[in-house]
Every structure is written in C-alpha cells, then in structure tokens.
Amino acid sequence: MSWTSTLVHGLAVYLADAGVALYRPTGVYRDDEVGIVVGIVPAAPPSVLVLTPYPLADDVDQADSVLGLQVRARSAGPDPRPALDLLDAVFDELHGATHLDLGGALVHLAQRAASVPLSRDRSGRYEHADTYQLTAHHPTRHRT
C-alpha cells in the first residue's frame, strides 16, 4: 500500500474507532448505515463520508508534506443537519489533532481550513464539504 493509501485508510479507521461512522475497506454498506469511503462519492449508502486526500506542498530537504483532505458528507435526504452533524463529529476528532499515527503514516497537525455547502445531489440528498490541511511526515528515498 502506498503512503497516501496508508494515510487515508488509517484516517478512516481512526474516525470509525471514534464512532463517527462505519468503515469497511470494501466500501459496501447497508442503506441504514453511514459509511466512510475513499475518493469517490458512491450512489449508496444514502448517508456517507467521503475522504479525498490531495498534495499541497512537499519540502525538498525534509520529509515534511502538507496535504489537503476533503471530507465530504451527504445526508440521506434534503435536510442538511445530518451531514452537518457528521462534519462536526469529524471536526471534533481532527481539528487541532497532533502526532496522529494513522497506520504508519504520521500526521503532525490536522486543522480545518474551509467548509462549503455543496447543495443537493441528483437524488435530492444534501451535501457539504470541509477541507483540512494535514502536515505530515512523508519520508522518501531522497527525504529522511
């Protein structure tokens, strides 16, 4: 598993262990469950958290990287409150967290940078996204 895959998997496990939502690496959930998935917004389950990491900056000399992390929440229906509740639960676990070991990927600091309502999807379900900035230790052959 790559470093980024390890990071996002570890983050999903971390949030699931905190009781925010369920995480199954298969991405298969019942309609009555709130699932955590990586990267792609699925058609089901109706309520979901989608974690999408992306690089922002990488130090050349030191093994430090800054990543963006979009945390997208979708409610099962048009009411925005369940999605906002999910994002508040993520905020409670992530914002200001330091020295997180996410399955071997180390995050020095996590902080929320933005929060944006996304409206409704084609099925009328409400969506909202928060963006986090993760400062992480990402060693490579040229950065130790």
Does the residue 79 lie in any domain? yes
pLDDT tens, 97-138?
999 999 999 999 999 999 999 989 889 999 999 999 999 999
144 inside domain: no
pTM: 0.95
Task: Give residue 2's pLDDT.
Answer: 95
Query: What pLDDT, on the 0 to 100 scale, is given for residue 48?
Result: 97
Helices (H), 55-125: 81-94
DSSP state, 26? Answer: T
Across the range 46-69, mean pLDDT stands at 96
Helices 81-94 and 3-17, packing angle to 10 deg? 110
Q: Which pLDDT score is estimated for 119? A: 84
Q: Is residue 101 assigned to a domain?
A: yes
Return the structure tokens found at 61.
Answer: 């000399």
CATH number of the domain where residue 22 is located = 3.30.2000.30
In a domain, residue 63? The reply is yes
Q: Which amino acid is at 71?
A: V
Q: Is residue 142 domain-resident?
A: no
Residue 141 DSSP one-character state:
T
pLDDT at 144 over 90: no
Task: Read off the pLDDT of residues 11-42 as tens digits, 9 standing for 90 and up.
Answer: 999 999 999 999 999 999 999 999 999 999 99
Residue 143 lies in a domain: no
Assess if residue 91 is contained within a domain: yes
Instruction: Round to whole Å and give the CA distance between 64 and 125.
Output: 38
Domain coverage including residue 127: 3-137
d(CA 70, CA 11): 12
Count how many domains the chain has.
1
DSSP class of 90:
H
CA triplet 121, 26, 28: central angle to 5 degrees? 50
